[in-house]
Chains A and B, each alone.
Chain A
Amino acid sequence: MSAPNASRDMLRMAGANAVLMVVAAIILLPFAWMLLTVMRSPAEIFSDPFGLPQGFGIVVENFHRAFTTVPMARFLFNGAVVVTVLLFLQLAVSIPAAYALAKFPFSGRNLLFGLVVAALCVPIQVPMLPIYIALAYAGALDSYFALIFPFLFSPFAIFMLRQQFKAFPNEIIQAARLDGFSEIQILLKLIVPSARPVIAAFAVFSITAHWNDLYWPLIVVSSQDMATPPLGMLYFRDGDLGTDYGALMAGAIVTVTPVMVIFLIAQRQFIKGLTMTGLK
């Protein structure tokens, strides 16, 4: 072993930090470009992409165009409706299912749980076509229902919550049964509060995934009125005038901000939730 050497340790740390900073910079680059672009007039975007901003007026103008050339507010509203209704319904389905799988011994339980795990392995693209056809036959395309329904049953939520509920002490459940709690009260008053971090973690996953989803809205939504924010971004790609990058980036900022804010608020719970279930 070599003698302790402060300057060498410092150098090593500096090296490690440098690597991290470079990687962080690569990841942040698109965001930086988004911010730079929104501060430019259409002419400058390509002529002078990395120059200093020309003034605040351009920014306001880009945001103004983002909200006027397309119904941006409508997209945000659609996104919010889909994401919150979906999250609420996913939890309403998954929490009782996870409780049953975690704490009730019934025949076929292991088989059912096996199916949940198997469903985890099936990518959404596999059942897409049959679901689409079914929605088409039901005349339900181009609606909130079409956006929400296929994701109601979340094997991921059931799996994650079952793992968490399983760790809940049986003795507390038995004490509650003696004290006269109904099963629903046990679930809502005792188990759900103890699983709050995991529920927060799932909420972040679900909100981000469905707020940002482009694939499924692109398939089932045809009218501008039903578009979610990522789908709405496509309307900036105007055939006649070319893409309006300034407005597009303003729209992108409006789209990503809510998710980032939610993540920042839920960050502590989110990380706690991930470590609690041993899922990473």
Chain B
Amino acid sequence: MGTSSRGLKIRGLGKHFGDTTVLRGLDLDVIPGEFLCLLGPSGCGKSTLLRILAGFEEPTEGTIETEDGASLIGVMPSRRDIAMVFQSFALYPHMSVHDNIAAPLVMRQMSWAQRQPLLGALLPRGRAIRGEISSAVERVAAQLRISHLLARKPGQLSGGQKQRVAIGRALIREPRLFLMDEPLSSLDAALRTEMRGEIVDLQRRLGITTIYVTHDQTEAMTMADRIVLMMDGRALQIGTPTTIFHDPRHIAVAKFLGTPAINILPGDVSGRRVRCLGRDLPVTMTEPTDRPVQIAVRPEDMTIRVGGKGSAIAPSWMATVERLEPIGHETLVHARVDEGPRVIVRLSGPQLAGFAMPGDARVAIGFDPVALKLFDESGARLTHIAGDRDVAPAPHHAEAS
């Protein structure tokens, strides 16, 4: 499907509804052919941004331009060469699957007279256009493996089938931009995983620039070329899934990604030294400063020792285990650090072997200093040098006594 995909240049985009601000000063460059995920909690403005791109709503301020400099502001939705897949699929209920998929072409390519069933066949080109459209529908249907469903009405389809029809209707026009608004959220878990792979395959094959809205971090992490993490109407961070996950620029980004959520420990920086709950950490600040900091460590980067034995992992804190959550291939340990916060440690693989403890067990909690991330009180990332690698224990290693 020779599609000329396109990018977008979004500058200072804002949207207010009365006193409520949904989008504030958003800048974003959409690269032609990429799969871009807008990720964020509900109410972060990601759906509003998508609706503005589709033309259903006009922004209060800011500009949207295609890469050749044409502005999209004020352009009718039907003239934007955009196709969209909706959360509810939004199929036309009284039309067959064939007519649903054909609708965008019928509406664009045929005159009113040509669309009439009997009259159309008599008019010059009427029959020919209808034939071309039908073969396009069949081609798209074959691609989505729904050829056997063309005669049915949407009411007779399963969720996954409706999804495919919705995608087919969006694809047939060969749009230059593909918008998807949580298209998988109304499917069951197994189907969601399957469709995830299919949508990505399809997107790679066709190379259509795709903007995909989701609140599901797994979807964003597995599907996206780049993620825009949105919160409170702002783009907090834009980057590849790996960058966003391992190198968050803001504490909200670190907190939003990863299940269970990242652990936050209180700390202090004085000069270049970092202290956490009474112990020095083997890290050095890039810039000397004096302020309280938030130390974030993912559950999988935490270590645990039972009975105070084992190798000297420094530093470590005593903690009381409150709850174990075994989930098969891994176990989540919920523990409260003495005079400190509650933390979650993820144990998997070899750490898990023989790890069984009674409730209220006393353990020593530690973490890999290389993996920790420092944020100031406002949540902005502080840079540090991970200390002497020699004293740092191998990550993901805990000895059970």
Q: Name A residues whose Cβ lies closer than 8 Å to a Cβ of B.
A: 169, 171-172, 174-181, 185, 189-190, 193-194
Q: A178 touching B87 by the CB < 8 A rule?
A: no
Q: B88 touching A169 by the CB < 8 A rule?
A: yes
Interface size on B, residues (CB 8 A): 25
Q: B56 touching A172 by the CB < 8 A rule?
A: no
Which of the 9-residue segments B100-108, B311-319, B323-331 touches chain A?
Answer: B100-108
Chain B neighbourhood of A179, CB < 8 A: 78, 103-104, 107, 169, 173
20 examples of A-B residue contacts, CB within 8 angstroms = A169-B90, A171-B90, A174-B56, A175-B86, A175-B169, A176-B92, A177-B77, A177-B78, A178-B77, A178-B78, A178-B83, A178-B84, A180-B107, A181-B103, A189-B92, A189-B94, A189-B95, A190-B92, A190-B94, A193-B93
Question: Smallest CB–CB gap between A216 and chain B, Å?
Answer: 37
Q: Which of B76, B83, B92, B169 has the most chain A CB atoms closer than 10 A to its own CB? A: B92
B89 to chain A: closest residue by CB: A171
Q: In residues 66-119 of chain B, which contact A (Cβ within 8 Å)?
A: 76-78, 80, 82-84, 86-88, 90-95, 103-104, 107-108
Query: Considering the chains assembled together, what is the distance between the CA atoms of A189 and B93 in angstroms?
Result: 10
Q: A177 touching B56 by the CB < 8 A rule?
A: yes
Question: Smallest CB–CB gap between B141 and chain A, Å?
Answer: 17
Query: Considering the chains assembled together, what is the distance between the CA atoms of A189 and B100 in angstroms?
Result: 12
Q: B84 touching A175 by the CB < 8 A rule?
A: yes
Query: Considering the chains assembled together, what is the distance between the CA atoms of A180 and B173 in angstroms?
Result: 11
Chain A neighbourhood of B84, CB < 8 A: 174-175, 178
Question: Smallest CB–CB gap between A107 and chain B, Å?
Answer: 14
Q: Any chain A CB within 8 A of the CB of B321?
A: no
Q: A180 touching B108 by the CB < 8 A rule?
A: yes
Chain B neighbourhood of A189, CB < 8 A: 92, 94-95
Question: Smallest CB–CB gap between B93 and chain A, Å?
Answer: 6
Q: Any chain A CB within 8 A of the CB of B54?
A: yes
Q: A180 touching B54 by the CB < 8 A rule?
A: no
For the complex with contacts A171-B88, A176-B103, 15 further pairs of A-B residues with Cβ separation under 8 Å are: A171-B87, A174-B54, A174-B84, A174-B86, A175-B84, A175-B169, A177-B77, A178-B82, A178-B84, A179-B173, A180-B78, A185-B107, A190-B92, A193-B93, A194-B93
